[in-house]
Chain A
Amino acid sequence: MSSTATILDAAKPIPERLVMPATDHLVDSLDPEPHPPDDAEDLPTAAVVFDVDAVSVYYGEFRAVQDASLKVHEHEITAFIGPSGCGKTTLLRCFNRMNDLISSARVTGSLCYYGVDLYNPQVDAVEVRRRIGMVFQKPNPFPKSIKDNVAYGPKVAGLAKKGPAMDDIVENSLRKAALWDEVKDRLNDNALGLSGGQQQRLCIARAIATDPDVLLMDEPCSALDPIATTRIEELMHDLKTDYSIVIVTHNMQQAARVSDRTAFFSVEVNADSDSRTGILVEYDFTQHIFSNPSDERTENYVTGRFG
């Protein structure tokens, strides 16, 4: 276990507020199954936001994710880690039905959001996306003004028209995204004039503006420098009180720093067809995953022996 400790030490010092004191006793548990909170009665039971049950995702004939099952809890940060091609982004994109944009994509299994099956034919993906916001890998602000970027979602959803009501939404969203002080004097400037880190916080503000319950973040820091990354991570911690967050990251230290629970995905090479399928190897409290993983593959990954 000394090597796993090294990984955690190598990470930037974890702010005290990011350490979860209540989970220390779970470190000894070797239960390979995720720990649903209702099994552990001494833990505060957070409501389940996403209940993923045996979800597989196909692109045409190709199976990108196989039989993933996990529960995402309210006001927690859940991290998806794993090597390239392990299907973590694909699974994340099922949560707000972004995969619908790819015509060949097909989802099987059940994916419930607060008990409602997201893939029920009556469910409109557009409604889903208004409740479940998304932040993308590369900052992708619209080539419009800062204000118009934030106002886009509310305007499209009919939450507010132009005027004081919209101005309030814009200001609140930018404040929550810790960007207000930097841009309040130039709200009408083009968003592409911002730095990469500012653009990504603008994208977070834009996602917050539609008043979602959940924020999905697909490697939100992979295009950013370390200082901007730190700011986003601090921001995520602040946002946790209002939103449930699911983040995909390549960066294990980031998962260790910010998340409450971590799902480790891996790639399984199918011997017959030479195709590669992503599988969920282990899902547990972050501390457990990094200090005492139940699965050997997880341990190999987090200690840097693989991937």
Chain B
Amino acid sequence: MQTNEPVSVGASGSARQNVPLTTAALAGSPHRLRKENLISKLMYGAALVSVVVSGLIMYALFSEAWVFMRDVDWAQTWGQIGWFPRRGIYDMPTLLIASFWTTLIAMVVAAPLGLGAAIYLSEYARSSHRALFKPILEVLAGIPSVVFGFFALLWLAPNVVANIGGAGGRGSMVAAGLGVGILTIPLVASISEDAMAAVPKSLREASAGLGARKAVTTLRVVLPAAVSGLVASMIVAVSRALGETMVVFMAGGAADAAVRTITPYDGSLTMPAAMASLASGTDQVVGEGLTFQSLFFVGLVLFLLTLGLNLIGDRFVARIREQY
């Protein structure tokens, strides 16, 4: 592509000598400069949208949660019998305990299986095996969580939970936790595998050259070098498990309201399940004066928990990271 400017420079040696160089000759095409400018503005706009939307979400969350916090009788949020928002009883420990159990059980399932799958794919698998396993993991990651909800309720509960001490016929925190755990495996596996694949091959060769077996190389060289990505995968997985709604709503064994229990074999409501219960139904949210706002308060607590987790994770990673 040539510019439409009259040729003053560069056509031939003699032209160059005869025509004195001017600033205008080097000024560039105004048309192209405008185009470049426009593109950069469009990209800025795209980036801005996500910032603005985040801001709006925060505003909606905080403004309604603020109403709740200002007007609520705080005695109703602690030390009550359970979570009965339509009757004005907002026992937060009920939800926190349920969220804690399901997340813990989910991570007990997802962390070792996800990490193991990542180590296999990144360090051990032959390329033909990798070509088989990776798409299957990706399919697993793409299954809608409502399917996992059914799976947890109709298969995990009678076949697994019933065999490890729980009741088979209904949902429970264990069933929900197992379901969320399986849902989270591909997430852990793919982020962990990316982190391990980013470790330079030369480090593996150095280790092998010193007489280290593959397991030793993986444990002492690859995993330490990949640790920031591994911690990141765990944090993302915990955030995902904490925020997962559909599986815990369907398989958690409670709807609308729950009595506080610390036994994971019981049904209960996690924070997002409580929010989903409140917001669903044809009557929208009807109840006591603050029932609607309590939904936002729970959302705020959930948001702060995940945020705190990410901050702690970042600081932890900065401290132990092996930079290569």
Contacts and interface: CB of A to CB of B under 8 A. Distances in A.
A126 B214 CA distance: 10
A29 interface: no
Interface stretch (B108-116, B197-205, B291-299): B197-205
Contacts of B220: 152, 156
Contact of B211 (A103, A140, A156, A203): A156
B4 to A, nearest CB: 46
A141 B322 CA distance: 12
A246 interface: no
B11 interface: no
A160 interface: no
B210 A156 contact: yes
Interface of A: 96, 98, 101, 103, 126-127, 129-130, 133-134, 136, 138, 140-144, 152-153, 156-157, 190, 192, 203, 206-207, 210
B209 A152 contact: no
B213 interface: yes
Given A140-B205, A143-B225, A192 B211 contact: no
Contacts of A130: 210-211
A129 B205 CA distance: 11
9 contacts: A130-B211, A133-B209, A140-B203, A152-B220, A156-B207, A156-B211, A206-B210, A207-B209, A207-B210
A140 B126 contact: no
Given A103-B126, A143-B323, A133 B202 contact: no
B212 interface: yes
A123 to B, nearest CB: 13
Nearest to B127: A103
B216 interface: yes
B38 interface: no
A157 B221 CA distance: 15
Interface of B: 126-127, 200, 202-213, 216, 220-221, 224-225, 322-324
A96 B324 CA distance: 26
A124 to B, nearest CB: 9
A101 B208 contact: yes
A156 B208 CA distance: 10
Contacts of B203: 140, 142-143
A126 B200 contact: no
B206 A136 contact: yes
